[in-house]
Amino acid sequence: MAIPDYQSLMLPLLRLLEDGQEHTAREAIDKLADQFNLTEEERKALLPSGRQTVFRNRVSWASTYPNKARLIESPQRGRMRITDRGKEVLKQNPQKIDVEFLSQFEEFVAFRALRSQSDSLNRATARTADETPEELLVRGYSSLKENVISELMEQVKSASPEFFERLVVELLVKMGYGGSYREAATVVGRSGDEGVDGVIKEDRLGLDVIYIQAKRWTTSVGIREVCEFAGAIQDKRARKGIIITTSTFTRDAGEFASRADCKIVLIDGQQLAELMFEYGVGVSTVAVYEVKKVDYDFFAEE
């Protein structure tokens, strides 16, 4: 069974609390996971942030919304209990409790009014009501990231060979290689020295070096080019090399690189754009949003 969305968890959670006793969040998560027969993999599945499981996040929101509708209360941190209103709701034997159902309670309507300032946002929320706010935020960010990376790839492919080389230098420096940009730029260029375009320091002290080949190609880089590059850096008694291309690598090229005596890293156009995004090369920050939650320890009275 797939992990249920947070609205599908609202009614089972309320029924779990029907005994009127306080229940911990951990207890609710475990019992609901058992009720929905979730596999160990589904129980451990993480949000893209990697900081919380998907199921825990959805149970949290399955309790937050009924709490705003006064069906559930939190007598203390990490604990929940059904209210008299919640018991009355269960007596009605509802087939489902979701956002639409909770909208009959004025407290919930007031809560949603604070969260949404326009009808268009309300409609967008309704279309994606199965997702928690964190999941909506992550999905929106992922979509924006994919679009930016796609645009980066197009820009890189249309750039001149000279600009591509400067881009490679900029990226490697941002990643911590080559010391300063000036130092890196003096050793990376179109030397064409026996299959090697340049060499860059692996660290600021220059304790080791990495040989580089930059290929602004539209066709795939094959095993022949990787073999020639491997031979070139071995002739120089080097151990490490990077081939960066705007296109892709053939399968046999990748297999050869993985078993070569020297360490060769292959970076294709997609990976290049992703690294540019991650290290801020060719992109600018438009806005930064911090995701915060209530610090219950702050409100704890001794």
Inside any domain, residue 298: no
Handedness of CA 163, 169, 172, 176 (dihedral sign): negative
Q: Are residues 170 and 109 in the same domain?
A: no
> Can you give the pLDDT at residue 173?
84
Domain extent, residue 166, equals 156-279
Inside any domain, residue 299: no
CATH of the domain at 107: 1.10.10
Q: Are residues 101 and 199 in the same domain?
A: no
Cα angle 172, 251, 195 (rounded to 5 degrees) comes to 50
Residues in CB range of 182: below 8 A, 6 or more apart: none
Partnered with residue 232 across adjacent β-strands are none
> Can you give the pLDDT at residue 248?
94
What is the number of domains present in the chain?
2
> Can you give the pLDDT at residue 180?
65
Inside any domain, residue 295: no
The answer to whether 62 and 86 have CB atoms below 8 angstroms apart is no
Q: Are residues 198 and 92 in the same domain?
A: no
Q: Are residues 105 and 180 in the same domain?
A: no
Q: Are residues 219 and 264 in the same domain?
A: yes
Q: Going residue by residue through the chain (302 aa), what tens digit of pLDDT does each one get?
A: 689 999 999 999 999 999 999 999 899 999 999 999 999 999 999 887 777 889 998 998 899 899 989 999 988 877 899 999 999 999 999 999 999 999 999 988 887 776 554 444 444 444 455 678 778 888 788 878 887 888 888 888 888 888 888 888 889 888 888 766 666 655 555 445 555 677 887 766 667 888 888 888 889 999 999 999 999 888 888 888 999 999 999 999 999 999 988 899 999 999 999 999 999 999 988 777 787 777 766 776 55
Whole-angstrom Cα distance, residue 12 to residue 16?
A: 6
> Can you give the pLDDT at residue 209?
82
Inside any domain, residue 146: no
Q: Which two tokens stand for residue 42?
A: 């589904």
Whole-angstrom Cα distance, residue 270 to residue 145?
A: 12
